[in-house]
A and B are shown apart, each in its own frame.
Chain A
Amino acid sequence: MASSLLSPSFTSFLRTKDLSLYAFSSQRCFKAVPKRIRCSVAAPQRQPSTTGSVRTAMTMTEKILARASEKAELSPGDNVWVNVDILMTHDVCGPGSIGIFKKEFGEDAKVWDREKLVIIPDHYIFTSDERANRNVDILRDFCQEQNIKYFYDIKDLSNFKANPDYKGVCHVALAQEGHCRPGEVLLGTDSHTCTAGAFGQFATGIGNTDAGFVLGTGKLLLKVPPTLRFVMDGEMPDYLLSKDLILQIIGEIGVAGATYKAMEFVGTTVESLTMEERMTLCNMVVEAGGKNGVVPADSTTFKYLEGKTSLSYEPVYSDQKARFLSEYRFDVSKLEPVVAKPHSPDNRALARECKDVKINRVYIGSCTGGKTEDFMAAAKVFLASGKKVKVPTFLVPATQKVWMDVYSIPVPGSGGKTCSQIFEEAGCDTPASPSCGACLGGPKDTYARMNEPQVCVSTTNRNFPGRMGHKEGQIYLASPYTAAASALTGYVTDPREFLQ
């Protein structure tokens, strides 16, 4: 098929531009190798392809796509048919994808692999909107008809806990249920599918038509992206979270700075991040236009996966001489908490520069900022302050598992209190049923939807006009630390006011 199908214009790949980076890249790789060899899962440095031989140095994104397309090597700009390991869809795009699949492959067609399709209702669940409810019914009927192995259903909308299979936000659920594995290709009908790149895999969002094609064939034509490398070194200050790092990067390169490109995150800071923090980093690459984000798999990855998947997987790593379109370096120890001001994720400012911005509400939730550690972080700020919030503070755990963690895991230094207890003492709203919630507005009766033109500090991912509901609403994207600190003052607030 057409090479330009995947790109409005082929951008020439400047191979010579980055020669000076090789020396540095080598250092990074050498340093990382011994660590990986100790890992329980074999992670040979040179395992790029089915042939086992390397002629061209490749990035990890290139290697994953090479293996998935059964090629020994490939280069950025190549269009290749890729075998898909997992296809994920949800209630917003699943019905349309299924519609296309049936139309194109026939009413009696079977999906290419009933164990490789993961269907996760998560967007519009706790609503009386009839079409939204119908869409979940369409998913259920399809999963029954096709005998789909992984369908995380919800039937009783009055009490999510009565639905043991229900998970919640797909990207967090994919990780928690063991569907994210190093070296694999994961496609999903959601732009934040890139979150799974945190596991050292290729993961990107696709549309209904492409998903319909994958449903029937298990393959998709993809253009191999060139890679931007982000080297983040230095000790992470204890008032920063991964959200600050990715907002910093998006502010640096802009909302289209990585369009059609892979974003690879390396460096001592990244190595020190937990899986959930790596997920936050990769989650927002699409806000820079990125096709995918990747973090090399390491012992943190392998430990997280223990007990979550019984399938074998094979990580890949960028070659020492892999070519990167450009490289950005950050000394994380010098960074400060940042926000993205309305109405663009690249409209970066220091949190302390916005201290005069009066806010009406705070929202903590979504695939970006609604994970267990995000709530632990918010609780840490509330605990440190001992005060009550000054604006309504909405909490929407991403998944049922996160919700249970919020109600059961003791917060360090609290004398055994859970997040939920700390939130209650601080005067927050009771944690809501897990779903995508008001991150993307949704039906009018969505919990915490911004129905008035208010100002919100949010741990979510986008702040374009109307994103959380009202078109004139103003959204400040921030880390859970900054969100909690802002809730306590009623203004956009640097969390150092409470954490130091």
Chain B
Amino acid sequence: MKAMASLFSATATVIPRNLAVASSAKHPVGHSLPNSYSPPFLSFPTSKSNPRIRLTASLQSPPAHASASSSPSATFHGLCYVVGDNIDTDQIIPAEYLTLVPSKPDEYEKLGSYALVGLPASYATRFVEPGETKTKYAIVIGGANFGCGSSREHAPVALGASGAAAVVAESYARIFFRNSVATGEVYPLESETRLCEECRTGDVVTIELGESRLINHTTGKEYRLKPIGDAGPVIEAGGIFAYARKSGMIPSR
């Protein structure tokens, strides 16, 4: 699996439809990770690494599979991690770790290391390997009612901090969806079919946001996703505050 991850590394990119948007992308919770950290499998404007650097790179080498769509343009590529229905917030980030405050950079990183650690033992493969702070899975694939349970924003934050770019689920619990958008931490995408039964942990997948499409390269199948709609630009900007500043709803600072 690791070999595959590196095989596909750095093929993901974004179509820089709006330079101003991407270059002013700013993380909402105030952490700043060292620029040396480079996610092995994904690249998009809200990436936790420096968005300018990412953007420049993608401008210089447009990928072969780049979408020509003018709608939300991020593409995520990497391994997927598959979970079932009703994955509640305690499984995403157990309550004992809620003492970590997401707005503190070092604690933000720690939250990432605990992402999905609450899954029962039946999940043989860990989302984040012990001792690691980042996941090797770019995309989480779930069933119905993903993120049910508490209102803890730590849940989407933990997934985002672990390095995951998107969740693709059949449906979401309301607060998790809202928190994902408000923080800009992960794209909460909805599938039209039960992808958790179509994909296996470790499959190599690509999400083309503009095409609302998920491609499973391991099985060679393609699936339609529901359009992310107006929530897309909010996540792309880095959350509601960043979006509101950019769109002039609240004054820039």
Q: How far is the CB of A211 from chain B (nearest CB, A)?
A: 9
- B102 touching A256 by the CB < 8 A rule? no
Q: Is B66 an interface residue (CB 8 A)?
A: no
Can you name the residue of chain B whose Cβ is closest to the Cβ of A194? B151
Comparing B16-24, B54-62, B171-179, the segment that makes contact with chain A is: B171-179
Q: Is A397 an interface residue (CB 8 A)?
A: no
Cβ contacts A126-141/B at 8 Å (1 or 0 each): 0001011001001000
- B86 touching A209 by the CB < 8 A rule? no
- B103 touching A96 by the CB < 8 A rule? yes
Using Cβ atoms and an 8 Å threshold, which residues of chain B touch A100? 28-30, 103, 241
Using Cβ atoms and an 8 Å threshold, which residues of chain B touch A189? 151, 153
- A104 touching B241 by the CB < 8 A rule? yes
Q: Is B226 an interface residue (CB 8 A)?
A: yes
Using Cβ atoms and an 8 Å threshold, which residues of chain A touch B179? 207-210
The complex places the Cα of A92 from the Cα of B183 at a distance, in Å, of 17
Comparing B41-49, B142-150, B193-201, the segment that makes contact with chain A is: B142-150
Using Cβ atoms and an 8 Å threshold, which residues of chain B touch A178? none
The complex places the Cα of A440 from the Cα of B230 at a distance, in Å, of 34
CB within 8 Å of B: which A360-386 residues: none
Comparing B4-12, B90-98, B124-132, B158-166, the segment that makes contact with chain A is: B90-98
Q: How far is the CB of A336 from chain B (nearest CB, A)?
A: 25
The complex places the Cα of A300 from the Cα of B228 at a distance, in Å, of 45
Main secondary structure of the interface of B (DSSP, over half): loop
Q: Is B121 an interface residue (CB 8 A)?
A: yes
Query: Given A6-B178, A471-B118, is A442 in contact with B95 using a C-beta cutoff of 8 Å?
Result: yes
Number of A-B contacts (CB under 8 A): 186
Query: Given A191-B150, A209-B153, A465-B91, is A135 in contact with B101 using a C-beta cutoff of 8 Å?
Result: yes
- B100 touching A440 by the CB < 8 A rule? no
- Please tell me which one of the listed residues A5, A99, A208, A465 contacts residue B181 in the complex, with CB atoms under 8 A apart: A5
- A471 touching B145 by the CB < 8 A rule? no
Using Cβ atoms and an 8 Å threshold, which residues of chain A touch B94? 441, 466
* A contact residues, range: 35 or more
Query: Given A8-B177, A441-B90, A441-B95, is A255 in contact with B29 using a C-beta cutoff of 8 Å?
Result: no
Can you name the residue of chain A whose Cβ is closest to the Cβ of B226? A9
Q: Is B220 an interface residue (CB 8 A)?
A: no
Query: Given A209-B28, A210-B178, A255-B148, is A462 in contact with B101 using a C-beta cutoff of 8 Å?
Result: no
- A190 touching B151 by the CB < 8 A rule? yes
- Please tell me which one of the listed residues B119, B145, B152, B178 contacts residue A93 in the complex, with CB atoms under 8 A apart: B152
- B153 touching A207 by the CB < 8 A rule? yes
Q: Is A293 an interface residue (CB 8 A)?
A: no
- A256 touching B243 by the CB < 8 A rule? no
Q: How far is the CB of B158 from chain A (nearest CB, A)?
A: 12
The complex places the Cα of A6 from the Cα of B171 at a distance, in Å, of 13
Using Cβ atoms and an 8 Å threshold, which residues of chain A touch B177? 7-8
- B149 touching A95 by the CB < 8 A rule? no
Q: Is A3 an interface residue (CB 8 A)?
A: yes
- A440 touching B150 by the CB < 8 A rule? yes
The complex places the Cα of A6 from the Cα of B241 at a distance, in Å, of 15
- B118 touching A462 by the CB < 8 A rule? no
The complex places the Cα of A210 from the Cα of B103 at a distance, in Å, of 13
Q: How far is the CB of A186 from chain B (nearest CB, A)?
A: 13
Q: Is A152 an interface residue (CB 8 A)?
A: no
Q: Is A160 an interface residue (CB 8 A)?
A: no
- The listed residue with most A CB atoms (<10 A of its CB), out of B100, B149, B177, B230, is B149
Q: Is A464 an interface residue (CB 8 A)?
A: yes
The complex places the Cα of A191 from the Cα of B148 at a distance, in Å, of 10
Q: How far is the CB of B187 from chain A (nearest CB, A)?
A: 11
Cβ contacts A189-219/B at 8 Å (1 or 0 each): 1110100000000000111111011000000
- A99 touching B86 by the CB < 8 A rule? no
- A259 touching B173 by the CB < 8 A rule? yes
- B178 touching A207 by the CB < 8 A rule? yes
- A99 touching B226 by the CB < 8 A rule? no
- Please tell me which one of the listed residues A4, A255, A256 contacts residue B229 in the complex, with CB atoms under 8 A apart: A4
Comparing B73-81, B203-211, B231-239, the segment that makes contact with chain A is: B231-239
Using Cβ atoms and an 8 Å threshold, which residues of chain A touch B152? 92-93, 207
Q: Is A410 an interface residue (CB 8 A)?
A: no
Q: Is B120 an interface residue (CB 8 A)?
A: yes
Using Cβ atoms and an 8 Å threshold, which residues of chain A touch B178? 5-6, 206-207, 210
- B151 touching A99 by the CB < 8 A rule? no
Cβ contacts B101-124/A at 8 Å (1 or 0 each): 111100000000000001111000
CB within 8 Å of A: which B216-253 residues: 226, 228-231, 233-234, 239-241, 243-244, 247, 249, 253
Cβ contacts A86-130/B at 8 Å (1 or 0 each): 000000110110111001101000000000000000011000010
Q: Is A38 an interface residue (CB 8 A)?
A: no
- B151 touching A93 by the CB < 8 A rule? yes
Query: Given A99-B29, A260-B174, is A208 in contact with B153 using a C-beta cutoff of 8 Å?
Result: yes
The complex places the Cα of A256 from the Cα of B146 at a distance, in Å, of 10
- The listed residue with most A CB atoms (<10 A of its CB), out of B102, B121, B233, is B102
- A464 touching B91 by the CB < 8 A rule? yes
- A289 touching B181 by the CB < 8 A rule? no
Q: Is B188 an interface residue (CB 8 A)?
A: yes
- Please tell me which one of the listed residues A8, A209, A464 contacts residue B88 in the complex, with CB atoms under 8 A apart: A464
- B102 touching A208 by the CB < 8 A rule? yes
Q: How far is the CB of A209 from chain B (nearest CB, A)?
A: 4
Interfacial residues, chain A to chain B (CB-CB below 8 A): 1-9, 92-93, 95-96, 98-100, 103-104, 106, 123-124, 129, 131-132, 135, 138, 189-191, 193, 205-210, 212-213, 255-256, 259-260, 286, 289, 291, 344, 440-444, 462, 464-467, 469, 471-472
Complex A-B, nearest 4 residue pairs according to Cβ-Cβ distance, in ascending order = A99-B103, A2-B230, A4-B229, A205-B151
Extra contacts, 6 of them, besides A103-B29, A441-B95 (Cβ < 8 A), are A4-B229, A96-B154, A99-B102, A135-B99, A440-B150, A471-B121
A-B contacts, 25 of them at CB < 8 A, read: A1-B234, A1-B243, A5-B230, A8-B177, A93-B153, A96-B101, A96-B102, A99-B102, A100-B28, A100-B30, A190-B151, A191-B175, A207-B175, A209-B241, A213-B241, A255-B148, A289-B173, A289-B174, A344-B86, A441-B90, A441-B94, A443-B96, A465-B90, A471-B118, A472-B120
